[in-house]
Structure 1
Amino acid sequence: MSSILRADPPRQSNFQADDDRLFVRAVGRAMQVLSAFHQASGPLSLSEIAARAEIDRSAAQRLIHTLATLGYIRRSADDRGYLPGIRLLDHTLDLLRLDPVVQKATPVLLELRKTIRERVDFSLYDETRLVYALRMQSKRETFYATLVGHSVPTFCTAGGRAVLAALPAEAARDIVLRTTLHSYTSKTETDPDIIMQLVESARTDGYAVVIDEFVQGEVAIGVAITQHDGAPLGAIHVAGSLSEWTPEEFVRQAAPVATEAARAINGSL
């Protein structure tokens, strides 16, 4: 099963198609090398990077040398392998400071966090997954849960079902069917037909509720952020502990303020 910290990205078509004359293969291979770290739990050797990037060892060596020279890859402190370089954070900052949705969402989410005093997150829509761009944590969270870039699947998370509900039913079902339907907990719903029923409920209610399906002991509400034409851009997530809330009370308290926050963001775009 994939790490809970990173959902499977959308399945790509052959992005190196011979008929795409604008595609620069060397750049594509460089990104494959950087992507080799996605599921890593520590430094990677040259051979491990080559295998994960699906390129030969000689090509990997040249690409790693180039990326290391530019500061996008570095040697680990024990000199046993490679890690992502600090200059990648420059690009993360560029995305977060220039993305108009993140700009509009940030002050609204700060106020929402003050109101609900539980975990509040904002994620960007990437078809089969959502990628967190803002994370405002509660006292219970771990180090990993504070990191932006953490991604979660759309099919079994509150924000995910909220964005699926913003899509036409046929498009939402297509995304569910293109997703590897992992069981993250014993209560994760993996039947596509039942998932679509839950998506329809979210469409009716204006928000989605997920209990114990992605994180054990958690209740979460998700509300979609959309373009003017209704297409989803991302989602607000508000999550609480079932040791402190009943699902009914959490929905009663969190759903109205999360929905109002989403309305404020949507109105500002």
Structure 2
Amino acid sequence: MSPKFLRSELSRLPYPPAESDDPLFIQSIGRAMQVLSVFHQTDRPLSLQEISTLSGLGRSAVQRIIFTLRTMGYITRDPDDRGYVPGLRILDHSLDFQRLNPIVVTANPVLLELRRTIRERVDLSLFDDLRLVYASRLQSKREILSSTMIGHSVPTFCTSGGWAILAHLDDAEVDDILIRSTLTAVTPKTITNLDALKAKITETRANGFALALEQILAGEITIGAAILDSQRRPVAAIHVAGSLAEWTAKDFSRKFAPLIVQAAQTISRG
């Protein structure tokens, strides 16, 4: 996935609210999170003025917030002093999420065993409305930069994991997500037509897994299966990726789909 497309998708993410009428809401914390969130949509250090513009907060308030966050290690200056970037302390919270999220904790041993068995890339992504966020990525012999990054996100509408999740929602929920999606093509093969997408979701419901060809990366084939919570609602997905240079869709599905579905069911029960 191109950096340009990734920035475009990240720029659409909802920022945490900086203001609320709820008496329990601490506005100063909301504004601090608003400042941290502006880095979602950039691939370079940001100046004080740029952070102010992107966050929608006044320059004076942003200056105080940055000073506080920098003192605590959550924001730092770029090594070349070109602007501000997230600080090392952010990674402490990423680790906490990995250690304490029940889906990730339950899934990790299952994913490791699946990776040993199939020897292709195995991913775990968490459902976040219009996007899936990667929480675990176990590599194959084919490595690319975007496939190594935990926290990287992809659109729900054009991924095997997204289709698998949508297949477990009712038609009204599916329509709502598809209508609110930008439906921007990532590759020449990305499906963006609403009727065609609904047909893929219907196919996924019938098969029990989703098969996607070159939706995010050219030459890639993926199979996705949904992970369900105790209410039988989709909350995450396993997807396995291979190369069309090595696999036909028929052979890839026949060999791996049962294993992926079983792994997803094991995690769901957990």
In which range does the TM-score fall when normalised by the shorter chain? over 0.9
In the TM superposition, 1:62-77 aligns within 5 A as 62-77=64-79
Residue 102 of structure 1: aligned partner: 104
In the TM superposition, 1:213-232 aligns within 5 A as 213-232=215-234
Following superposition, the deviation at residue 147 of structure 1 comes to: 1.3
1:137 aligns with 2:139: yes
Residue 82 of structure 1: aligned partner: 84
Q: Which digits, 9 at most, give the CA deviation of each residue in 1:172-229, with x for residues without a partner?
A: 1111111111110111111222211211111111111110111111000110000122
Q: Is the 8 A contact 1:10 1:127 kept in 2?
A: no
Residue 209 to residue 105, structure 1, CA distance change in 2 (3 Å): same
Following superposition, the deviation at residue 13 of structure 1 comes to: 9.3
Q: Is the 8 A contact 1:6 1:152 kept in 2?
A: no
Residue 30 of structure 2: aligned partner: 28
Secondary structure at the aligned position of 2:53 is classed as: helix
Partner of residue 116 from structure 1, selected from 118, 122, 131: 118
Q: Is the 8 A contact 2:16 2:30 kept in 1?
A: no
Residue 206 of structure 2: aligned partner: 204
> What RMSD in Å do the two structures reach over aligned CA positions?
2.0
Following superposition, the deviation at residue 102 of structure 1 comes to: 0.7
| Structure 2 unmatched runs, 5+ | none
1:183 aligns with 2:171: no
Q: Is the 8 A contact 2:111 2:122 kept in 1?
A: yes
Partner of residue 234 from structure 1, selected from 233, 236, 247: 236
Secondary structure at the aligned position of 1:215 is classed as: coil
User: How far apart, in 2, do the equivalents of 1:12 and 1:41 lie?
Assistant: 18
1:58 aligns with 2:60: yes
Letter aligned with residue 127 of structure 1? D
Q: Is the 8 A contact 2:111 2:263 kept in 1?
A: yes
Following superposition, the deviation at residue 252 of structure 1 comes to: 1.2
- Which region of structure 1 is more displaced relative to structure 2, 23-32 or 228-237? 23-32
Residue 197 of structure 2: aligned partner: 195
Residue 153 of structure 1: aligned partner: 155
User: How far apart, in 2, do the equivalents of 1:42 and 1:144 lie?
Assistant: 17
Higher relative contact order (CA 8 A, sep 6+): 1
Identity percentage of aligned residues? 50
Q: Which digits, 9 at most, give the CA deviation of each residue in 1:105-129, with x for residues without a partner?
A: 0000000001110100001110111
TM-score (norm 1): 0.93
Instruction: Count residues in correspondence.
Output: 268
Q: Is the 8 A contact 1:122 1:135 kept in 2?
A: yes
Following superposition, the deviation at residue 101 of structure 1 comes to: 0.9
Q: Is the 8 A contact 1:6 1:151 kept in 2?
A: no
Secondary structure at the aligned position of 2:142 is classed as: coil
Secondary structure at the aligned position of 1:159 is classed as: helix
Larger relative helix fraction: 2
Q: Is the 8 A contact 1:224 1:236 kept in 2?
A: yes
User: How far apart, in 2, do the equivalents of 1:48 and 1:9 lie?
Assistant: 14
